[in-house]
Amino acid sequence: GIQVEQSPPDLILQEGANSTLRCNFSDSVNNLQWFHQNPWGQLINLFYIPSGTKQNGRLSATTVATERYSLLYISSSQTTDSGVYFCAVELDDYKLSFGAGTTVTVRA
């Protein structure tokens, strides 16, 4: 099956810092989503981004489908950005295959 790899596995940031999270996938996919899982376990949709670049406030994402990777940028990080960030690729029949996640800790 498809492999979805996220890096780095853990990231510690000082408040105000910028960071980049990466998601590599091993085969062509229909779509790609980024999620943020907060400390209560809720999965929050960040981006639905099969290709191109999107921005939402301090977050932006870029997917280069031909090279099979996606990047999530966090700028001017805040403590509320802490949590686990997952990328998930959409396979046939709308099933999602998740990466292992990047755990982000933002320190005040």
Partner 1 sequence: SAVISQKPSRDICQRGTSLTIQCQVDSQVTMMFWYRQQPGQSLTLIATANQGSEATYESGFVIDKFPISRPNLTFSTLTVSNMSPEDSSIYLCSVDGGSGYEQFFGPGTRLTVL
- Does the protein bind partner 1 through residue 85 (CB under 8 A)? no
Strands 31-37 and 83-90: antiparallel
CA distance 93 to 37: 24
Binding segment (CB under 8 A) for partner 1, from list 21-29, 51-59, 65-73, 86-94: 86-94
How many residues in total does the chain contain? 108
* Residue in 41, 57, 67, 92 binding partner 1, rule: CB under 8 A: 41
- Does the protein bind partner 1 through residue 94 (CB under 8 A)? yes
Strands 10-14 and 102-107: parallel
CA distance 29 to 51: 10
CB of 6 to partner 1, least distance (A): 9
- Does the protein bind partner 1 through residue 39 (CB under 8 A)? no
- Does the protein bind partner 1 through residue 3 (CB under 8 A)? no
CA distance 72 to 95: 21
CA distance 57 to 50: 19
Is the CB of 13 or the CB of 87 nearer to partner 1?
87
Residues that bind partner 1 (CB under 8 A): 31, 33, 35, 40-43, 45, 48, 86, 88, 90, 93-101
